[in-house]
Amino acid sequence: MKVLVGSLSIFVGGALFAGFPGATDARLKAIQGYRSWTKVNAKPVSMAPSVAVLCAAIPPPKWRDPSPHIGKFFTVYVNATGRTAMLSDETKPFPVGTVIVKEKVPAVGQDVLKQTPGTKVELLTVMIKRDKGFDPGNGDWEYFAVSGDAKAVISKDVKHCQDCHRSQKSSDYVYRDYPRSASRR
Ligand code: HEC
């Protein structure tokens, strides 16, 4: 009985977060095996503290100065559809079907300048290029956040994602401002 109650609450919890289970499945399916895709930055990149705090699943209650100890490192992966646009020197629109996953791990170490990337994946933030008309005001990108184990969509409101990424409209809403050394392979 305990087991039954436990799994029931997991189900209800999942449904509450995701809206309805079918939508979650499609989004999780889209990122399946992302670690075998093109790794855009060869080494994890240290994230600016302000972005580490705000580029999260759930926005903080209000704008505040992030502590320098909330360090994160990130690695970006892109699927085969978006590879050329991601690695190109010019900025070009990403083709429909592009999936970009930004994987975050904690920064380890007290000294901010000497921190190294931890191994436990804490969060995945994802962009999927949908068909024309999906969301024209946001470049037809779908935004969502996924638990580090890639098992649950955990974002409800993605307005804060879109607000930041709109500043990158000229590069199709994608920052691409990290070393993209995969291009040299
Ligand atoms: C505070 C601004 C901010 C917010 C909020 C934000 N992002 Fe980002 N995002 C960035 C920046 C800056 C980068 C570039 C990498 C870096 O410096 O961390 C980035 C990179 C990414 C990337 C890699 C592709 C790229 O643009 O280069 C994905 C995918 C992504 N973000 C998804 C999301 C999702 C999903 C959300 C919401 C859950 C979100 N972001 C919220 C600022 C933000």
pLDDT reported for residue 63: 46
pLDDT reported for residue 21: 56
> Considering the domain boundaries, does residue 3 fall inside one?
no
Of the residues 76, 87, 165, 168, which should be mutated to test ligand 1's pocket, given the most ligand atoms within 8 Å of the CB? 165
Of the residues 39, 40, 43, 51, which should be mutated to test ligand 1's pocket, given the most ligand atoms within 8 Å of the CB? 51
Closest ligand 1 atom to residue 126 Cα is 29
CA of 142 to the centre of ligand 1 (A): 12
CA-closest candidate to residue 174, choices 139, 149, 144, 135: 139
Q: Report the C-alpha gap between 172 and 94 in whole angstroms.
A: 7
User: Which tokens is 180 given?
Assistant: 């993209």
Contact 128, 98 (CB under 8 A): yes
- The contacts of residue 185 (CB under 8 Å, 6+ apart) are none
> Considering the domain boundaries, does residue 2 fall inside one?
no
Angle at 126 between CA 124 and CA 132, to 5 degrees: 175
> Considering the domain boundaries, does residue 111 fall inside one?
yes
> Considering the domain boundaries, does residue 14 fall inside one?
no
Query: In this structure, what CATH number is given to the domain that contains residue 142?
Result: 3.50.70.20
User: Which tokens is 19 given?
Assistant: 């809206």
Contact 145, 125 (CB under 8 A): yes
pLDDT reported for residue 124: 96
CA of 1 to the centre of ligand 1 (A): 42
Domain that holds residue 175: 21-184
> Considering the domain boundaries, does residue 125 fall inside one?
yes
Residue nearest to atom 40 of ligand 1 (CA): 161
Could you tell me the pTM of the whole model?
Answer: 0.84
CA of 173 to the centre of ligand 1 (A): 9
What tens digit of pLDDT does each residue of 16-36 get?
444 455 667 899 999 999 999
pLDDT reported for residue 102: 97
Place of tokens 């809403």: 173
With a cut of 70, list the residues of the chain below it in pLDDT: 1-23, 49-50, 53, 57-70, 183-185
pLDDT reported for residue 71: 81
Contact 73, 45 (CB under 8 A): yes
Structural domains counted in the chain:
1
CA of 6 to the centre of ligand 1 (A): 34
